[in-house]
C-alpha cells in the first residue's frame, strides 16, 4: 500500500502571454504548493476499484472523467485506489491535476516502476508541475517547468465561496490574450515581506474575466484584503479560490479563524506555501 499527499497548487502569479493557433493559451506563472490537499491511497487488488471519500467527496466523478482514473489506466495494473477529497473541485488550485500526479507517484511505488508511462503529461496542463511538487515557474501551455529554489515560505489563507468557474469560459472572456510576462528572473533570497512586495507587482490576468463570470470573487478578494495584517490578496488560477498573504504563520491562522466566523459557508484554510 502507498499513500501520497496531493497538495493544492496555487498560482501566486498568472500572466497570459499569448494564444496559439490551436487555441491553447500561453502562460507565465509562478506556482507554489500548499500544505493542505487531498490524499491518494493505492494498494494491489484482484480487480480495479476506485472510490472517493472525505469531506469534499460529494459529486466527485468516479468514471474516466476523473483524472485519477485516467492516470491509473496508464499503468494497466489492477489496483484499489481511494481518493480522500479535501479540496473544492473546479477551484483554480489544481486539485484534479494534483490528484492525478499523486496517483502516478503512488502507482510507480506500488508497481516498482522507475520510468513514468507515456501519456502522463498529456493528462492535463498542470500535471507536470504537480509531479514536481515544489515552487516552480510554469510557461507555455504547462510544458516548460523550471524549479524556483531559494524562495521564502509564504503564509496564506485560502478562501473559496463555493462557486465553480469553468476555466474555458474565463479564458474566452479575457479581452487581451497577449500580455507582458513576468520579469526574466524570479528573485531568490528575499525575506518574506520583500518577496510579497515583488509578487504584488505581478498579476493574475484571469482575475477580471473570472469576476465578470462570478461577481462573488470580487467580494472574496475584498474580504481577504480587509483581514488584519493581510499584505496581498489575489485569485489563484482561473478561480474561484483566492488567497491572502501574511508575513507570519500566526497572522494567517488568526485571519483564517476570523474569516471562518465571518463567512461560515466559505471553504477557508490557513496554509504554508512553498
- Residue 21 known to be catalytic: no
Q: Cα(42)–Cα(205) distance, rounded to whole angstroms?
A: 37
Whether residue 184 contacts residue 32, with contact meaning beta carbons closer than 8 Å, is answered with no
Report DSSP state, residue 204.
Answer: B
| Active-site residue, from 38, 99, 126, 205 | 126
Residue 176 has a CB neighbour count (10 Å cut-off) of 7
Question: ω into residue 240 within 30 of 0, thus cis?
Answer: yes
| Active-site residue, from 9, 28, 38, 205 | 9
Report DSSP state, residue 114.
Answer: S
- Specify the DSSP element, H or E, that contains 270: strand 267-273
**Nearest 5°: CA angle at 158, between 155 and 163?**
170
Residues serving a catalytic function are 9, 126
Amino acid at each position: 500500500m502507498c499513500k501520497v499527499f496531493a497538495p493544492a497548487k496555487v498560482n501566486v502569479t498568472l500572466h497570459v502571454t499569448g494564444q496559439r493557433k490551436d487555441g491553447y493559451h500561453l502562460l507565465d506563472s509562478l506556482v507554489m504548493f500548499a500544505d493542505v490537499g487531498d490524499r491518494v491511497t493505492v494498494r494491489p487488488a484482484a480487480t480495479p476499484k476506485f472510490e472517493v471519500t472525505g469531506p469534499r467527496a460529494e459529486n466527485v466523478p468516479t468514471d474516466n472523467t476523473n483524472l485519477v482514473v485516467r492516470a491509473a489506466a496508464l499503468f494497466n495494473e489492477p489496483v484499489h485506489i481511494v481518493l480522500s477529497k479535501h479540496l473544492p473541485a473546479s477551484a483554480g488550485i489544481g486539485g484534479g491535476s494534483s490528484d492525478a500526479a499523486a496517483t502516478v507517484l503512488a502507482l510507480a511505488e506500488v508497481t516498482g516502476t522507475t520510468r513514468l508511462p507515456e501519456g502522463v503529461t498529456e493528462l492535463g496542463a498542470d500535471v507536470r508541475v504537480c509531479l514536481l511538487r515544489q515552487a516552480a515557474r510554469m510557461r507555455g501551455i504547462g510544458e516548460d517547468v523550471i524549479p524556483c529554489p531559494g524562495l521564502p515560505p509564504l503564509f496564506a489563507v485560502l478562501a473559496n465561496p463555493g462557486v465553480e468557474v469553468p476555466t474555458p469560459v474565463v479564458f474566452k472572456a479575457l479581452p487581451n490574450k497577449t500580455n507582458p510576462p513576468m520579469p526574466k528572473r524570479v528573485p531568490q533570497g528575499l525575506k518574506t515581506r520583500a518577496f510579497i512586495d515583488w509578487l504584488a507587482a505581478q498579476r493574475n490576468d484571469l482575475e477580471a474575466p473570472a469576476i465578470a463570470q462570478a461577481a462573488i470573487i470580487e467580494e472574496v478578494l475584498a474580504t481577504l484584503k480587509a483581514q488584519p495584517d493581510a499584505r496581498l490578496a489575489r485569485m489563484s488560477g482561473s478561480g474561484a479560490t483566492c488567497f491572502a498573504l501574511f508575513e507570519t504563520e500566526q497572522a494567517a491562522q488568526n485571519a483564517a479563524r476570523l474569516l471562518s466566523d465571518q463567512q461560515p459557508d466559505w471553504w477557508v484554510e490557513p496554509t504554508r506555501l512553498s
